[in-house]
Amino acid sequence: MSFIDILFRVDEICKKYDKYDMDKHRELNAYGDDAFAQLYACVKSDIEAALHKSELAAMEKNRASGTAMNAEVRRIKARLMDELPKPKKLAHKKVKGLSKEEIGIPPDLVLALPERIQAIPDGTTVAAKQTGGWAGSTPNKNVKFDSSVNQSC
C-alpha cells in the first residue's frame, strides 16, 4: 500500500465521521438563532470585500478596468446602504441568552454601519463629495472684468 492510498483512505474515514466533530459544528453554527449576528456578519464581509476591491482598483494600472472596479464598489455601497433597515430592525429584537450589556451592543453596531460603508473609497474625488458635485473651478487671476461698460436701455 502506497502513501497516497493511505492518505485517500484516511481522508474518506474523516469525511465519514465528520458529522461527529463538535468543533466543526460550533464553527458552522457560531451565531445560533441570532438573526442579527448572522446578518451583521454578512454585511461585515461585504464591507471587507468592497474594501479589498477598492484597494485593487487603486493599484490597477489600466484606467478602464480601475474605473469598472470603482463602479462595482459604488454599486456594492449602494446595495449595502439599501439593506441598512434590515439590521436596524433586527438590532432591537430580543435574543435568548444575551446579558443586558450584550443587548445594547447591536444598536451601536448598526449606528456605525453607514459611516463604515461611506468610508469605503470608490474612486470619486473628495471635493465633489463635500460640495455635492457643484464645486467651481479656482478663479483665474489673469481675468479682469471691465465695470465701466455703459448700458443704455
Tell me: the pLDDT tens digits for 113-147? 899 999 988 887 654 455 555 555 556 666 666 66
Percentage above 70 pLDDT, the chain: 69
Domain of 24?
1-30
Which of 38-42, 78-82, 108-112 reaches the highest mean pLDDT?
78-82
- What contacts 83, CB < 8 A, 6 or more positions away? 43
Percent of the chain with pLDDT over 90: 14
109 lies in the same domain as 42: yes
The rounded distance, in Å, linking the Cα atoms of 90 and 129 is 31
Cβ count within 10 A of residue 35: 15
This model's pTM is above 0.75? no
Q: What is the pLDDT of residues 42-62, one digit of tens each?
A: 889 899 999 999 998 888 888
Residue 48 lies in a domain: yes
**The one-letter amino acid at 112:** A
For residue 135, tell me if it sits in a domain. Answer: no
Q: Is residue 112 part of a domain?
A: yes
Judgement on whether residues 42 and 100 belong to the same structural domain of the protein: yes
Looking at per-residue pLDDT, the higher value among 34 and 67 belongs to: 67
